[in-house]
Amino acid sequence: MSRRLSLILLVVALALAIAVPVYALPGKPDFGEHVYADGEAWGTKATAVFKEPRGNSEEKSFDVLYIFTNGAEGQLLVGEAAPGNPEYNGGRWQSMGVTWNAAGMAAHDPLPVLKSEEEIMLHAGLGHLDITDGSPDFHPDYFECPLLPVKE
């Protein structure tokens, strides 16, 4: 392998390691606050990346994980559902990008921290948020990352 290719692969690997704070080390849970779902904060544990599903399995097998590209200080990722919610799919996620647009920035000073899908849908309905399919950063589009209770 060429030296240049080795360097590029090393840089990509380091960027992924640094840019994906939601993931705990494989095999080790992280009980810190990383994801809001159903109004409360959750820890997490990364387990698997999935290929894009085919057919109807996306709606049945995955919850949406909203990843903010901008937002209030303290804004975490927001999950569609959490443990205890009958709609929770065990931590299998489909990534969606969320951006506060100019209308949302003008309507809020400071921006609110959103903690549930309902709050995201409310602000999207008001025209304050733009939501796009797929991950806006280094998160995979489909992955498994179960939610765990936060412990201090």
Question: How many whole angstroms separate alpha carbon 108 and alpha carbon 16?
Answer: 32
Over its C-alpha atoms, the chain yields an Rg (Å, rounded) of: 16
94 has a pLDDT exceeding 90: yes
- Residues of the chain above pLDDT 90, percent: 60
Q: Where are the domains of the chain?
A: 22-149
How many degrees, rounded to 5, is the angle at CA 33 between CA 28 and CA 38?
Answer: 115
Residue among 72, 68, 66 nearest 108 (CA):
72
Name the 3-class secondary structure at 39. Answer: coil
pLDDT reported for residue 136: 84
Residue among 151, 148, 143 nearest 47 (CA):
143
